[in-house]
Amino acid sequence: QVQLVQSGAEVKKPGASVKVSCKASGYTFTSYDINWVRQATGQGLEWMGWMNPNSGNTGYAQKFQGRVTMTRNTSISTAYMELSSLRSEDTAVYYCARGFMVRGVLGGMDVWGQGTTVTVSS
């Protein structure tokens, strides 16, 4: 079945970086974008950016420009999201999600990973 499996929980100190992985299975990895969405405790969903696994092209939310990097390894169908210069406000659950197109335009997200908890604390 189609699924995205993410790496385990992380605890980081302020100023450090974190890299979360997202392994795809059950479909052709290079045929669908991967989005990253985060959610702080008790808060809503916040989109961070997308990556085209085929071309490697990316698009980042303005809020995260300069701090986030999205990459992939097509040989193992895995996407990565690295966030640097971590601060306490980055404590959240981070999700990867497969994107789909609607009439040739980026649409929504139809398959989600289980989430990775990132805690930033001194």
Partner 1 sequence: SYVLTQPPSVSVAPGQTARITCGGNNIGSKSVHWYQQKPGQAPVLVVYDDSDRPSGIPERFSGSNSGNTATLTISRVEAGDEADYYCQVWDSSSDHHVFGTGTKVTVL
Residues interacting with partner 1, by CB under 8 A? 35, 37, 44-47, 50, 59, 61-62, 95, 97, 100, 102-103, 105-110, 112-115
> Hey, which residues does 50 pair with through a beta bridge?
35, 59
**Whose Cβ is closer to partner 1: residue 46's or residue 82's?**
46
Distance in Å, CB of 80 to partner 1, minimum = 18
> What values do phi and psi take at 77, rounded to 5?
50, 50
Hey, what are 70's tokens? Answer: 């999205």
**Under 8 Å between Cβ of 39 and 46:** yes
C-alpha pair distances (Å), 104 with each of 42, 51, 58, 112: 34, 16, 17, 21
Nearer to partner 1, 8 or 122 (CB): 8
Q: Write down the least CB distance from residue 50 to partner 1, Å.
A: 7
Q: Based on CB atoms, which residue is closest to partner 1, 10 or 112?
A: 112
